[in-house]
Amino acid sequence: MSARVPLVAANWKMNLLRADAEAHGRRLVEGLGELSSKLTEVVIFPSFPLLPAVAAALRGSAVAWGGQDLHPEDAGAHTGDVSGPQLADAGCAWVLAGHSERRHDHGETDGTVARKAEAAFRNGLAPMLCIGETKAERDAGETFGVLARQLGIALEPVAASGSPPSPFALAYEPVWAIGTGDTATPEIAQEAHRHVRQVLAERLGEETARATRILYGGSVKPGNAADLIAETDIDGFLVGGASLDPEEFLAIIRRCDGAAGR
């Protein structure tokens, strides 16, 4: 584990109702208060209708919240979409961009992700840029090429400006490990994270590469979190299914908190 502050994010996807979201948020704040040390940053990504309930439950705590997606434009005739200004107005600090389910379900391209990242920066939101290969791409030996392409295009607006306008994070999510129960071994995950950090250094410089947190996402659970977070270039997790159980999510946070500052 590096000196970078661990970051653990909960992606609730299209799950939970308002009462559940409020209860989960309250339990999370309570559970974090029970930790003897609080060295891990935490963010929750609820679905859009739940943002007010989550904000009410988390307000005043150290836990941040964010949107699961945003439109590249700030306003306009885009039925069903949500803009950066609307997320900022809802108190969001973060936003996901390029999640594999958005790419698969909605046909989002690398170029679309780049425009969303630009919109996030423009509106003072920290984008969490998601990248990852499919099983077919991994089996074909294309993992590094896919990651370099996705990251390179997503960062084009940042590279053009010379430096990141504000903090951001990356999430490596091997598509073959999302919701399947399969998890990349710590060695496989570290290899991918190291490559991503090298690409980041080539695009934005060594200083940015050293400072940027790269999260692992793909069937993360309390049982595998400690081994994963021990790897040099893994700085935390983007958690899906396990984040729907407050106790499991807290257990993952505790694994990161225990590894922080080593």
Look up 133 and say whether it is catalytic: no
- Residue 237 DSSP code: E
In the set 173, 193, 231, 248, the catalytic residue is 173
In the set 22, 24, 41, 99, the catalytic residue is 99
CB 234 within 8 A of CB 5: no
Look up 202 and say whether it is catalytic: no
Catalytic machinery residues: 99, 173
